[in-house]
Amino acid sequence: MNEFEIIDRYFAVDSGKRKDVLKGIGDDCALLKVPRGQRLAVSMDTLISGVHFLPETNAADVAHKAVAVNLSDLSAAGAEPAWITLSMTLPEYNEDWLESFHIGLKRIVNFFGVQVVGGDTCRGPLSITIQAHGFVPETVFHTRSGAQPGQLICVTGPIGDAALGLKVAQNELQVPPNVASQLLKKYFTPYPKIAAGIALRGRASAVIDISDGLLADVFHISESSNVGALLRWDKIPLSAAAQTIDDKILLKKAVLSGGDDYELCFTVNEDDLEATRHALETVGNECIPIGRLTGKSGVKILDNKQEMTFDELGYTHF
């Protein structure tokens, strides 16, 4: 198969041909139409084999995750996803791998109604770069920098499952099969919180998606907004699966510093909490306060009134 046949067969996923795609794959550029009154939100993420995913991961899950992590950045911005571009670096032509990748790609782009509008294909060590494009109304933009002292810090759902799932995948955590399957699912096939991001428009003062780890991501908000954060360990929601983990040190590490959950963390005025909870519940999400912003700097977390100490906030590459 030559390069163009590969593109056509595996990456040109037809997701119902969006009307705002005037020209998609097959020309030098895609030509796209942003609706009147909306702005374009753009984000890019790379997944490298052996760095961002285990090399033996099935290709459908790789495709899923590559799209999911990008759409998750859009969700933090409160954007509605529209298009993606896809840069593939492949070590070889591997029909089974590509077929599986194609299935995973098709499933997730159809689920979110986004269209692959272009990309690039090269030979080299396996890596996938996606750029995601979405729309936000001109009047709305979530950033990490709008948080104010006194506001509540909330999350949209349980934290830590993905990091525990990674431990299970690496055989570093032994759990019963039903627990394992729940944790693995959260790690391999996260669903970005698009509807939650949209529901938070005009309500949250700062939003971030939890990708690096809860503490690291709260730290990003606190730094960007020039405020401090005080979290309560007992308020952080854990899934039923996570609650079965006996090794509490491993559990705390996964919840506080493990990444890849793709829940949203946001800040909101206490007076707006109930309305925000209602807006999130309407779209099937939770609204769980886990702490409060302070006038001091830095992120602190209390466990039974004792300040917890930790040596690493989350994942960084350098």
Which residues lie near ligand ADP (CB under 6 A)?
7, 11, 25-28, 86, 88, 116, 118-121
Complex with ligand ADP: residue 7 or 153, whichever CB lies closer: 7
- Distance in angstroms (rounded) separating the CA atoms of residues 168 and 174: 6
Complex with Mg ion: residue 46 or 244, whichever CB lies closer: 46
Complex with ligand ADP: residue 28 or 234, whichever CB lies closer: 28
Residue 116: contacted member of ligand ADP, Mg ion, none (CB under 5 to 8 Å, by partner type): ligand ADP
Calculate the alpha carbon distances from 267 to 109, 239, 287, 302 in Å. Answer: 29, 22, 11, 18
Report in angstroms how near the CB of residue 132 gets to ligand ADP at its nearest: 13
- Cβ-contact 315, 212 below 8 angstroms: yes
Number of residues assigned to the chain: 318
Residue 200: contacted member of ligand ADP, Mg ion, none (CB under 5 to 8 Å, by partner type): none
* Residue 133, strand partner residues: 42, 83
Report in angstroms how near the CB of residue 2 gets to ligand ADP at its nearest: 10
Looking at 24-32, 63-71, 117-125, 145-153, which segment touches Mg ion (CB under 5 A)? 117-125
Cα 99 from chain centroid? 25
Report in angstroms how near the CB of residue 120 gets to Mg ion at its nearest: 4
Note whether 120 binds Mg ion by CB under 5 A. Answer: yes
Backbone angles phi, psi at 89, to 5 degrees: -115, 115
Residue 50 token pair? 């052996």
Residue 74: contacted member of ligand ADP, Mg ion, none (CB under 5 to 8 Å, by partner type): none
Q: Which amino acid is present at 131?
A: Q
Residue 31 token pair? 């030509």
Please choose, from the candidates 162, 152, 145, 176, the residue with its C-alpha nearest in 3D space to the C-alpha of residue 72. 162
- Cβ-contact 125, 46 below 8 angstroms: no
Report in angstroms how near the CB of residue 44 gets to Mg ion at its nearest: 16
- Binding mask 74-113 toward Mg ion (x if CB under 5 A, else -) reads ----------------------------------------
Note whether 3 binds Mg ion by CB under 5 A. Answer: no
- Cβ-contact 156, 263 below 8 angstroms: yes
Backbone angles phi, psi at 24, to 5 degrees: -105, -135
Note whether 281 binds Mg ion by CB under 5 A. Answer: no
Residue 79: contacted member of ligand ADP, Mg ion, none (CB under 5 to 8 Å, by partner type): none
Binding site residues, Mg ion, CB under 5 A: 120
